[in-house]
Every structure is written in structure tokens, then in C-alpha cells.
Amino acid sequence: MGNPRVFKSKWFQRFARDEGIGDSVLLDAVDRAERGQIDANIGGGVLKQWVARPKEGKSSGYRTIIFFRRGERAVFMYGFPKSGRSNIRPDEEKAFKEAAKHVLALTEKQMAALVMNGDLVEVKRR
């Protein structure tokens, strides 16, 4: 299993903070994906991984949309409570796939610039 770099979009950073989703939970979701334990592979480098609510289980948790390239990069882009909606819409799925194509093709230098601008936050492993 590789150790991909893990990032959160600015939007996802706020969502995770507001919902109390810690970085360790996000790293666990990426580690599961690295092991092939993927909740839903939407295609085009887009995964849907479930994460648990704090002090509860995955069944009452959140769905997250991750742009993912095994061993290289995982970018949390979007999330929603499973109780709030059942899934993403087809137009959202199409937009995520298009965005993932661009994000996963960025160079390390381009990723660093996005982190410097505050558009992405890197999740550090301890």
C-alpha cells in the first residue's frame, strides 16, 4: 500500500470542521481505498467513500467524494450526510469526473500553489 498525499478542498475543509470530521477519519478512508476497499468507484478517478460520524458508525455517517489516484494523491472534494440525501445527481457526477481529470493531472508544483493559495489543505499523517 502506498501513502498518497491527501488534501481537502476549501469547501470540504469547512464541511469537515462544521461536522466534526477529523483528519484521522479521512486518512482511514484513503487507506481503505488504497487497500481496494472502495465503497463506490464512480469512474474517472472519482470515489465515494463513507466516513463515520464522530462517536457513531459509518451507517449514520457521511458520504465523501474523493479524487483518487492510488499511491499518489487523494483530494476530498465534497461530502454530505447520508441522512440528508441518498446520492449525487448525474450532472454532479459528470462535473466531478471532469474536475478529477484536471486535478489528478496537476503537477506537484501546481498542487503546492493551490495549497499556498488556500484552495487546498494538506492532511498530514502523524
Cα–Cα distance, 50 to 123 (Å, whole number): 18
Task: Indicate the number of domains in the chain.
Answer: 1
Q: What is the pLDDT along the chain (126 residues), one digit of tens a residue?
A: 568 999 999 999 999 999 999 999 999 999 999 999 999 999 999 999 999 877 765 557 899 999 999 999 999 999 998 877 778 899 999 999 999 999 999 999 999 999 999 999 999 887
123 Cβ contact partners less than 8 Å away, ≥ 6 residues apart: 6, 7, 8, 23, 26, 27
Integer-rounded Cα Rg, in Å, for the chain is: 14
Distances (CA, A) of 45 to 70, 97, 116: 9, 7, 24
pTM listed for this prediction: 0.92
Range of the domain at 10: 5-123
